Structure 1
């Protein structure tokens, strides 16, 4: 039971960081994991976001893998919803990869949780 509570807490913290990604910016699963103090938990960040990808208040579409690939796109409704959401914010996506990933990368600051 205690492990379950820790997991929910981690997921909530993922959502809190994700909600702070500025419009037009993107980040990575690993960057979120690192700022949460669990740098080897990028996959867990992905699991957390899989649970909320259809909730409009958590911009999960702004979280990509470390190379700018839209690895979570199959969790969104429709074939290209994740890509469409990114393009609506001004990004260019070619072959499931964000073309301006480094220029628009948001590295969550250490105080993002406060």
Structure 2
């Protein structure tokens, strides 16, 4: 089924925003939603990442959008639809030097105080003289 223009624009905005997350950092679904102007849509950010094309010829794909850098707001790697999905994400994060710990209930966690990236606005939307840090 074809996406509406609005949905296509949202997917594009999410993928472009995720591409701005620095190597070795993570952010949350909710923060990406806020950065693209839809703070009420963190679950839809997850849907976008779930449907990220694996075709390397696609403009945004599994290789050029660092999907692994998006976790939940508690610092937990969200369970995936496939049983090993969270382990795959944890492995990709560890490859970037991000420490992923296993919690008491088996959940995979990242210390947001150390690895979190939460700018007020996307770097691409900031003039060089502006401060983009969270206040």
Counterpart residue number, 1:37 = 37
TM-align CA RMSD: 2.4
Alpha-carbon shift at residue 91 of structure 1 (Å): 1.6
1:64 matched to 2:71? The reply is yes
What is the TM-score when the length of structure 2 is the normalising length? 0.72
Q: Distance in 1 between matches of 2:122 and 2:101?
A: 33
Task: Flag the 1:66–1:105 CA change in 2: closer, same or farther, 3 A.
Answer: same
Alpha-carbon shift at residue 94 of structure 1 (Å): 2.1
Unaligned runs of 5+ in 2: 55-61, 126-135
Counterpart residue number, 1:50 = 50
Counterpart residue number, 2:12 = 12
Match of 2:115 among 96, 104, 112: 104
Counterpart residue number, 1:94 = 101
Unaligned runs of 5+ in 1: none
Deviates more, 1:43-52 or 1:64-73: 64-73
Name segments (4+ residues, structure 1) moved above 4 Å: 72-79
Task: Flag the 1:59–1:17 CA change in 2: closer, same or farther, 3 A.
Answer: same
Q: Distance in 2 between matches of 1:93 and 1:53?
A: 26
Q: Distance in 2 between matches of 1:35 and 1:7?
A: 16
Residue correspondences, number:
112
SS at 1:102 equivalent: helix
Higher-RCO chain (CA-CA 8 Å, sequence separation at least 6) = 1
Task: Flag the 1:64–1:53 CA change in 2: closer, same or farther, 3 A.
Answer: farther
